[in-house]
Amino acid sequence: MYLELAGGDSFEDLVFVPRKNCQTPAFIVELKWNQSAETAIDQIKEKKYAKCLQDYTGEILLVGINYDRVSKEDNKKHICVIEKIRK
């Protein structure tokens, strides 16, 4: 797991790379606050975050998570969108 990994045009929030000879996909996580999970996915694509995995081959999950702080404390919404790409 890498935090704030440099890649593409910016820094990814979290990147998980599986061990060698493992069938688990790698995944890139972008966190947003009071925006949308789709905005997070768009940022991963626009800033080419997958470049940090240039030596990795296989499936990559793009994970966008939004935390809604506007909601009441007992009803906060956390939304996640996941897209799969193949490299």
- How far is the C-alpha of 58 from the C-alpha of 40, rounded, in Å? 22
DSSP the chain: -EEEEEETTEEEEEEE-PPTT--PPEEEEEEEESS-HHHHHHHHHHTTGGGGGTT--SEEEEEEEEEESSS-GGG-EEEEEEEEEE-
4: pLDDT strictly greater than 80: no
Which percentage of the chain shows pLDDT scores above 70? 78
The total of other beta-carbon atoms located within 10 Å of residue 48's CB is 12
β-bridge partners, 28: 15, 62
pLDDT in tens, 15-42: 888 888 888 899 999 988 889 999 999 9
